[in-house]
């Protein structure tokens, strides 16, 4: 919802609150006004001169976890605020005096912002766009403050989900060493999504019976991580058929336990010592999701909440399941690649199924084999690559890539997570970005015979990041100076080279159009522009 919408709402509310006589001829009674406010989908509260609540509709009450506006009005503001932890837009606790409604009393103008509310009792988080508008009495003091809340919880969760999945996908696609990748994934999940994370893998054994192996265990609190490891050592999942991990491995279905307090799980504990360890961990809720790819169970990911007070629900279960699905694909691809190193005959299966670009080059940096994903990145067919050099296939990128490939050939060491950009493109819309990892391909005797690569195009993500940085820089420069010409010069410097190769800023002053700033990638052209007349048009 735009700020204009909030201002319109606040304007209408101000009129309704300050001019009841105007509504009287229309027959608008108090009950009718109440019905109008209750029908509004957004939460509405009104505070008095001392900050006390004097009105709240039911939508506002529901945002606070209550049933009605009347119930909300019965609770003192100080007591109500103790039920929540207030969060700023960045998710960090926000001092109460920084809330828009509190700022309004001091600034004497409308204030707004994104505010989060974490319920202490349940750990649930709700998010709202809040707009607070003061109403002044005849003496000029703020008599009332009208607060309009728009619940953006689902929007916030959706944005967080997309961002989190993009980060996880980029991480999972960046390496074929799945154990180190899973460790990186655990660091991403903790503490942003969960307070702890455990990844268990099913390993094949000689007798054909899979063995459960703990790959990663991570907790946001180092002391509790020690307890978690001790709990796992004394009570491993494969020794307890009722353990959630065992259940998930049997059913291949995810498991959500919304209440994981020791009292709720006492019936699953083996003994009192087990209960004591669970109590020391202060678990709140947890999720176990299967790692499955191509119809094969590879292990599980266990996620839990504790000291953060957050409580998992169906939305978190769905997100965890999607992350596990992508992680399973990454693990499966890594296992396939390990097998492919022993037999080139298995490469076709790997290349066809891999969701990221994979290629192999010989010692002369000629393409030996590429998969469809990499061929698509280069905008050629796989057959058009084989036997050709980097310079022949991607001439603009060869000067950047060849030193990396030769470094791998000469050192025998991989290069991981390197970013490449096609800086030769003239337009921002044509510039492309890649995230790549390169590794030596060896014979069984250890001789390096070529280079393998995993390449993922991240152009869209980079462009989004650049836009955010550009907006941030623009915001800083607009607020850092009151000099009009200095601001215009800074605008031009921000625009070049991010948006264009050249930028000139003109201002219309009293019928005259004057150039106040010019920036060009070519310094000579920029100096030439400086010598041109400043005034380019004059009416009259």
pLDDT of the residue at 157: 80
State yes or no: pLDDT of 309 exceeds 70.
Answer: yes
- Spell out where 357-511 has E strands: 357-362, 367-370, 415-421, 433-442, 448-457, 502-509
Helix (H) or strand (E) holding 290: strand 285-293
Is 356-462 CATH 3.30.450.20? yes
Look at residues 209, 226, 207 and name the one whose alpha carbon lies nearest to residue 218.
226
Of the listed ranges 220-234, 322-336, 433-447, 471-485, the one predicted with least confidence: 471-485
- Give me the pLDDT at residue 42, please: 87
pTM: 0.49
The CA-based diameter of the chain, rounded to the nearest angstrom, is 96
Q: Mean pLDDT over residues 354-360, rounded? A: 82
Residue 131 pLDDT class (50, 70, 90 cuts): very high
In the numeric block, which tokens belong to residue 329? 């694909």
Which pair of tokens denotes residue 257?
A: 């336990």
Distance CA 42, CA 466 (A): 34
pLDDT band at 289 (very low <50, low <70, confident <90, very high): very high
Short-list 64, 24, 29, CA closest to 147: 64
Give yes or no for residue 203 having a pLDDT over 80.
yes
Name the pLDDT band for 430 (thresholds 50, 70, 90): low
Does the structure show a pLDDT above 50 at 16?
no
pLDDT bucket at 24, cuts 50 / 70 / 90:
very low
> Which region among 27-31, 224-228, 230-234, 376-380 has the lowest average model confidence (pLDDT)?
27-31
What percentage of the chain carries pLDDT values higher than 70? 81
Q: Residues of 166-190 as b/e, b for ≥16 C-beta within 10 angstroms? A: eebbebbbbbbbbeebbbbbbeebb
Residue 218: the pLDDT is: 93
Spatial distance between the Cα atoms of 524 and 512, rounded to a whole number of angstroms: 27
pLDDT reading at 14 higher than 60: no
Q: Which of 8, 120, 118, 13 is nearest to 63 (CA)?
A: 118
How many Cα atoms sit within 13 Å of 339 on the Cβ side? 13
Cα separations in angstroms, 239 against 152, 228, 279, 520: 44, 16, 20, 69
Phi, psi of 239 (to 5 degrees): -100, 0
What is the rounded average pLDDT for all residues in the chain?
A: 80
Whole-angstrom distance, CA of residue 68 vs CA of residue 35: 13
Mapping DSSP onto H, E and C, the string for 348-376 reads: HHHHHHCCCEEEEEECCCEEEEECHHHHH
Same fold, 3-151 and 157-342: yes
pLDDT for position 489? 80
User: C-alpha angle 144/150/154, rounded to 5°?
Assistant: 155
pLDDT tens digits for 362-398?
Answer: 999 999 988 888 888 888 998 999 999 999 998 888 8
The pLDDT of residue 20 is above 80:
no
CA–CA distance, 47 with 147 (Å, rounded to integer): 8
Q: Give dist(CA 101, CA 47) in Å, integer.
A: 9
Q: Domain limits of the chain?
A: 3-151, 157-342, 356-462, 482-538
Q: Encode pLDDT of 502-511 as tens digits.
A: 888 888 777 7
Here the contacts of 58-65 (C-beta below 8 Å, separation 24 or greater) are: 59/149, 59/151, 60/147, 60/149, 63/117, 63/126, 63/128, 63/149, 63/151, 64/117, 65/119, 65/122, 65/124
CATH code: domain 157-342 is 3.30.450.40
pLDDT tier at 435 (50, 70, 90 boundaries)?
confident
The pair phi, psi for residue 365, each rounded to 5°, is 60, 35
Using the predicted structure, report yes or no on whether residue 7 has a pLDDT greater than 80: no
pLDDT at 226: 93
Q: Residue 143's pLDDT is what? A: 87
Q: Residue 242 corresponds to which tokens in the numbers above?
A: 């009722």
| Nearest Cα to Cα of residue 311 among 278, 276, 280, 283 | 283
Whether residue 425 is predicted with pLDDT greater than 50 in this model: the reply is no
pLDDT at 307 over 90: no
pLDDT confidence of residue 319: 92
Q: Are 123 and 6 in contact (CB under 8 A)?
A: no
Rama region for 248: left / alpha / beta (φ>0; ψ in -120 to 50; rest): alpha
pLDDT above 90 for 325: yes
Q: What's the gap between Cα 357 and its chain centre?
A: 24
Please determine, for residue 481, whether its predicted confidence score (pLDDT) is greater than 50: yes
**148-162, 233-247, 469-483: which range is least confident on average?**
469-483
Per CATH, the homologous superfamily of domain 3-151 is PAS domain (3.30.450.20)
């Amino acid at each position: 919802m735009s700020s204009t919408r909030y201002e319109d709402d606040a304007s209408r509310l101000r009129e309704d609150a300050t001019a009841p006589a105007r509504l009287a001829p229309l027959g608008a009674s108090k009950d009718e006004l109440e019905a109008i406010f209750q029908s509004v989908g957004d939460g509405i509260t009104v505070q008095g001169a001392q900050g006390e609540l004097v009105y709240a509709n039911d939508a506002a009450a529901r945002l606070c976890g209550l049933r009605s506006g009347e119930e909300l009005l019965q609770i003192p503001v100080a007591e109500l605020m103790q039920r929540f932890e207030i969060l700023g837009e960045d998710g960090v606790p926000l001092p109460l005096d920084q809330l828009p409604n509190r700022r309004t009393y001091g600034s004497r103008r409308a204030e707004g912002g994104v505010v989060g509310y974490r319920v202490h009792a349940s750990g649930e988080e709700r998010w709202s766009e809040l707009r607070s508008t003061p109403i002044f009495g005849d003496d000029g003091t703020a008599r009332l403050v009208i607060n309009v809340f728009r619940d953006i919880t689902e929007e916030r969760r959706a944005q967080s989900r997309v961002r989190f999945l993009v980060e996880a996908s980029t991480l999972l696609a960046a390496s074929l060493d799945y154990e180190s990748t899973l460790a990186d994934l655990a660091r991403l999940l903790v503490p942003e999504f969960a307070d702890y994370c455990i990844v268990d893998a099913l390993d094949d054994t000689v007798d054909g019976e899979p063995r459960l192996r703990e790959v990663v265990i991570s907790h946001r609190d180092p002391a509790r991580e020690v307890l978690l490891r001790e709990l796992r050592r004394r009570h491993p999942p494969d020794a307890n058929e009722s353990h959630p991990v065992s259940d998930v491995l049997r059913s291949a279905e995810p498991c959500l336990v919304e209440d994981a307090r020791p009292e709720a799980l006492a019936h699953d504990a083996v003994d009192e010592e087990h209960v004591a360890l669970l109590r020391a961990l202060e678990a709140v809720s947890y999720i176990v999701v299967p790692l499955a790819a191509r119809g094969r169970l590879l292990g599980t990911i266990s996620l839990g909440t504790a000291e953060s007070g957050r409580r998992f629900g169906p939305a978190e279960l769905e997100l965890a399941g999607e992350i596990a699905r992508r992680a399973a694909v990454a693990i499966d691809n890594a296992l396939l690649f390990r097998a492919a190193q022993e037999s080139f005959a298995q490469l076709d299966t790997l290349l066809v199924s891999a969701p990221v670009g994979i290629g192999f080059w010989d010692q002369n940096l000629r393409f030996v084999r590429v998969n469809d994903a990499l061929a698509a990145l280069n905008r050629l067919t796989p057959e058009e690559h084989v036997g050709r050099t980097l310079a022949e296939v991607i001439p603009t990128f060869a000067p950047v890539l060849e030193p990396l490939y030769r470094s791998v050939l000469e050192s025998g060491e991989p290069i991981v997570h390197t970013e490449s950009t096609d800086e030769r493109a003239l337009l921002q819309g044509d510039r492309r970005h890649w995230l790549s990892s390169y590794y030596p391909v060896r014979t069984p005797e250890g001789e390096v015979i070529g280079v393998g690569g995993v390449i993922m195009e991240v152009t869209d993500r980079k462009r989004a990041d650049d836009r955010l940085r550009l907006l941030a820089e623009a915001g800083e420069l607009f607020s850092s100076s009151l000099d009009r010409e200095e601001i215009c010069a800074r605008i031009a410097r921000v625009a070049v080279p991010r948006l264009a190769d050249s930028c000139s800023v003109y201002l219309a002053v009293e019928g005259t159009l004057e150039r106040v700033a010019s920036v060009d990638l070519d310094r000579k052209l920029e100096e030439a522009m400086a010598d041109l007349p400043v005034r380019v048009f004059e009416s009259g």
